[in-house]
Amino acid sequence: MNNWLAGAAIASGLTGLLHVFGGGRTIVKPLLESTMEETPKYLNYYCWHIITMLLITMTLVFFYGSTNSTAHDLTLVFSLLSAGCVVWSLGLSLWIKKTVFGFPQWMFFLPIAVMGVIGSL
């Protein structure tokens, strides 16, 4: 078993659970109750579910890769996607002039990316 990829799977699974159960109450509920125009409101809701699907897929791919060494190209792709989420989160924090701790998504994707890259190589 590749423990690095198993760790990435666990981290992405825990991030997914936090996303759905923690973020659902604090992000989705106020979004859907807002008076925002329908198109941007439901586009944000749609994007929320894309991230949910991404986190589920990442969890499954990393678990698969942890027991199957032929899947490391695939795990590397998802590791780099996770790294892209880190870069975008930090970049967005700077752009909207928030501290990196005020927009903390990068903290969840960083360990996934690091463990995934190490385990994939």
Write the burial class of residue 20 (CB in 10 Å: 0-12 exposed, 13-18 middle, 19+ buried).
middle
Write the burial class of residue 31 (CB in 10 Å: 0-12 exposed, 13-18 middle, 19+ buried).
middle
Query: What tokens were used for 67?
Result: 């027991």
C-alpha 83/C-alpha 79 separation (Å) is: 6
C-alpha 116/C-alpha 13 separation (Å) is: 13
Range of the domain at 33: 3-120
Mean pLDDT by 10 residues, the chain (121 residues): 98 97 91 95 96 97 97 97 97 92 92 98 94
pLDDT confidence of residue 102: 84
With beta carbons less than 8 A apart as the criterion, state whether 39 and 99 touch: no
Q: Which H or E run contains 52?
A: helix 38-67
Return the closest-CA partner of residue 7 out of 120, 80, 111: 111
pLDDT confidence of residue 45: 95
- Overall pTM surpassing 0.95 (yes/no): no
Tally of domains within the chain: 1
pLDDT confidence of residue 24: 87
